[in-house]
Amino acid sequence: MEFFQSLIQKQHSIAWFWVLLLVCVLNGKTTISASNYLVGLGSYDITGPAADVNMMGYANSDQTASGIHFRLRARAFIVAEPQGNRVVFVNLDACMASQLITIKVLERLKARYGDLYTEKNVAISGIHTHAGPGGYLQYVVYIVTSLGFVRQSFDVIVDGIEQSIIRAHENLHPGSVFVNKGEILDAGVNRSPSAYLNNPATERAKYKYDVDKEMTLLKFVDDQWGPVGAFNWFATHGTSMSRTNELISGDNKGTAARLMEDWFNNQKRVSENENPRRVSNIVQVSQTNHHELLELASSFQSTSGQPTTKYLSISRRVRSALRSADRPIFVSAFCQSNCGDVSPNVLGAFCTDTGLPCDFNHSTCGGKNELCYGRGPGYPDEFESTRIIGERQFKKAADLFNSAAEKLTGKIDFRHSYLDFSQLEVKKGGNESVKTCPAAMGFAFAAGTTDGPGAFDFKQGDNTGNPFWKLVRNLLKTPSQEQKDCQQPKPILLDTGEMKVPYDWAPSILPVQILKIGQMVILSVPGEFTTMAGRRLRDAVSAVFKGKVHVVIAGLTNTYSQYITTFEEYEMQRYEGASTLYGPNTLSAYIQEFTKLATAIVTGKTVEAGPPPPDLLSKQIGLLPPVVVDSTPLGVKFGDVSTDVPRNSTFKKGDTLTVVFWSACPRNDLMTEGTFALVELLQGQDTWVPVYDDDDICLRFKWSRPSKLSAQSHATIEWRIPQSTVPGVYRVSHFGASKSLFGSISHFSGSSSAFVVK
């Protein structure tokens, strides 16, 4: 009896064993198919020429680069199924993506990886900073103020994107992706509220605000290394830095990225019982007499300029990849969304002459647009406004990062198509249809916005035009009656879509793309959607996917075609409507085509590739003069100190100190992945440790020459000493490269006298 009971129990146990094993296997299969992604992130320097080149964004010919606020980067993520699809998203600290850059990056990726990365699954997006070097787009209207094509601007971005993707590819490891959302209430306001109010009241009633306040964040976690990065999408313009700023800057989104990457790295070092980058035991000031520090500092006088190698500034860079090769670096990107009518100048727009609010409908002051400017939260200090708006985005991103719990699961998919937006048929229901138009800019385009007003007598809300400027327009290209009718009620200032000399002035072929990672859907749009336009597009795509999906708009992606408003906003012809190139039906066309892409993903069908955009590289004209030669006064070397810190000087946290060096044109060497400026802290008696460089917001590198044609120049380095600075002995160093009359490039460096920070 006991034998049979034992046998029964044994058989029962075996049965349960197989049941449990089957459950585990089924669960395992579910987990593998749903969440076993490969995750990789990468980042690379794309800081362009910090001298002479016009900045992209404000179209202000007087705004040329003259130094660096902090460096620009390309940041990439790759998410892949181990044996299936993969997607790449690259976020650029640049005004926008460029069709020509996208074409050349894809050519390089094909040469390196075959068909692994193509236009179908690679998205390249810009943060819309207006403080980066221009001249890298291929269409004439976008490179007029930069004196045409600037090869150096173009090359550094193409190189940086490629390198960021290579690094992300090489960092691919099993991992997970989490999504989280939250609101930021104080980082954007609507700069065209009169146009927004023209949208139907019933539609506006569905929303609490006239701009989108939601940030959507992806957190990337490597199975081996833990968190390795975060990308988020939030709508606010990159116009905290004004149209008169001449320092290269990632504006508020670049600031947020720098703050978050440094925050994570310092948190990691603390958790691993390492010293954070700027909290060091290098000099124990609490145990050291201030007089002794001064005596130590006095033994280090400024050095005369010294010849050096190209790689010294790279090895001395604070965040040098050479010092973090043992593990993937943490990459954080603050991506752009439907920012078309969203300004970071949250205090509102005021007249510079009276201090009163600008006219509501036209953003003018006494009928003139030139006096109406938006004010950021740090007004009148644009650098402080940039920091504040960046910090607000960073703090929300850090909160979302820490609390992210919803894991992305499911398949990776994508769809991409090229479309001719100059004549795209849009179905309106039944047999009725309308068309888009060849590109054209309205009169209100020239009025600019409250973030950067235009000139002359243009104003927003102009739906008639001016006879004088129409005469000027006709000298370039007289629009046909058909074009005028198509673009109504926009009065055409520049008929860019039909201007072909010396080559295309504006794009006709545009890419549309969807990337899907589980329940995350990214809409790659080649322009700036306004708030309500973006809401309509997101709603239309969400309706196709039906289930719970997170839909984000990635603005200014893959190419650039200016603005997209709603039909009702277009009627108002403010700046955004005047800059909606393809006429009043542009948004309807986008909704139609993105709905097709989403439907194809849901049904598993393919879409037509469409007509490819032109490659106009061979036609580009660049009129920016090259660097001819650099020189210094007789008896002075490159890198010599021109203006030193005071002898035996002591500075406090919060002070600003300035050192001026004899220098050379920064266009000779962009110092990619290096630095032009460095603050070093003395370790022991004779070792200098880098603590701040020109990728730090507190350290500004300014370059100037006494006159436009002078071969002599200065590098001014300003250090605003942070409250977190470790007391001790410091010095400021400068790296540069000079060009001889025979064209050879020689690198140099120099250092200031040492000083004490207490």
Nearest to 367 by CA among 459, 493, 470: 459
Place of tokens 């701009």: 211
Q: List Cβ neighbours of 483 (8 Å cut-off, separation of 6 or more).
A: 437, 438, 440, 492, 495, 498
**Per-residue model confidence (pLDDT) at position 16:** 41
Nearest to 588 by CA among 621, 556, 617, 566: 566
Residue 681: which H helix or E strand, with range?
strand 677-683
Kindly state the DSSP code that residue 495 receives in the 8-state scheme: -
Three-state SS sequence of 244-284: CCCCECCHHHHHHHHHHHHHHHHHHHHHCCCCCCCCCCCCC
Task: Determine contact, residues 620/149, Cβ cutoff 8 Å.
Answer: yes
User: The tokens of 293 are what?
Assistant: 């520090």
Amino acid identity, position 695? D
CA atoms within a 13 Å half-sphere pointing along the CA-CB vector of 110: 9
For every residue of 42-111, DSSP letters joined together read EEEE----SSSPBEESS--TT-B--EESS--EEEEEEEE-TTS-EEEEEEESSSS--HHHHHHHHHHHHH
Residue 501 sits at φ, ψ, to 5 deg, of: -115, 130
Residue 723, helix vs strand vs coil? coil
User: The tokens of 624 are what?
Assistant: 């920016």
69 is in an annotated binding site: no
Gap between the Cα atoms of 721 and 732, Å rounded: 12
Residue 713 sits at φ, ψ, to 5 deg, of: -155, 165
Helices 151-170, 99-113: inter-axial angle, 10-degree rounding: 40
For every residue of 634-645, DSSP letters joined together read TT--TT-EEEPP
For every residue of 119-152, DSSP letters joined together read TTTEEEEE--BSSEE----SSGGGSTTTTB--HH
Residue 315 sits at φ, ψ, to 5 deg, of: -70, -25
Torsion of CA 632, 634, 639, 643, to 10 degrees: -100
Task: Determine contact, residues 512/593, Cβ cutoff 8 Å.
Answer: yes
**What is the Cα 688 distance to its own chain's centre?**
33
Nearest to 314 by CA among 671, 47, 663: 671
747 is in an annotated binding site: no
Residue 107: which H helix or E strand, with range?
helix 99-113
Residue 680: which H helix or E strand, with range?
strand 677-683
Catalytic one among 43, 313, 343, 738?
343
Nearest to 59 by CA among 96, 92, 91: 96
User: Exposed, middle or buried by CB within 10 Å (0-12, 13-18, 19+), for 387?
Assistant: buried
Beta bridge partners of 342: 190
Gap between the Cα atoms of 10 and 16, Å rounded: 10
Gap between the Cα atoms of 284 and 288, Å rounded: 6
Residue 672, helix vs strand vs coil? coil
Instruction: Give the mean pLDDT per block of 10 residues along the chain (758 residues).
Output: 39 42 38 66 98 98 98 98 97 98 98 98 98 98 98 98 98 97 98 98 98 98 96 98 98 98 88 57 53 94 95 93 75 98 98 97 95 98 98 98 97 98 93 96 97 93 95 96 98 98 98 98 98 98 94 98 98 98 98 98 98 98 97 98 96 98 98 98 95 98 95 98 96 98 97 97
User: The tokens of 233 are what?
Assistant: 């999408």
Residue 675 sits at φ, ψ, to 5 deg, of: -155, 145
Kindly state the DSSP code that residue 429 receives in the 8-state scheme: E
CA 175 vs CA 41, 189, 551, 669: distances in Å: 11, 37, 22, 38
CA 739 vs CA 301, 314, 744: distances in Å: 27, 20, 6
- Can you list the positions of beta strands (E) in 376-495? 406-407, 412-420, 425-429, 432-435, 441-442, 448-449, 452-453, 492-494
**Per-residue model confidence (pLDDT) at position 278:** 54
* First-residue to last-residue Cα distance in the chain: 89
Kindly state the DSSP code that residue 622 receives in the 8-state scheme: B
Gap between the Cα atoms of 341 and 572, Å rounded: 13
550 is in an annotated binding site: no
Residue 169, helix vs strand vs coil? helix
CA torsion sign, 146 to 150 to 156 to 158?
positive
Q: List Cβ neighbours of 568 (8 Å cut-off, separation of 6 or more).
A: 195, 198, 199, 200
CA angle 227, 229, 232 (to 5 degrees): 130
**Per-residue model confidence (pLDDT) at position 430:** 81
**Per-residue model confidence (pLDDT) at position 31:** 32
714 is in an annotated binding site: no
For every residue of 323-370, DSSP letters joined together read GSTTSPPPEEEEE--S-TTEES-TTEEEETTT-SBPPTTT--BTTBST
343 is catalytic: yes
According to DSSP, the β-strands at 713-720 and 656-663 are antiparallel
**What is the Cα 732 distance to its own chain's centre?**
29
Gap between the Cα atoms of 371 and 357, Å rounded: 11
Amino acid identity, position 647? R
User: The tokens of 446 are what?
Assistant: 């020239």
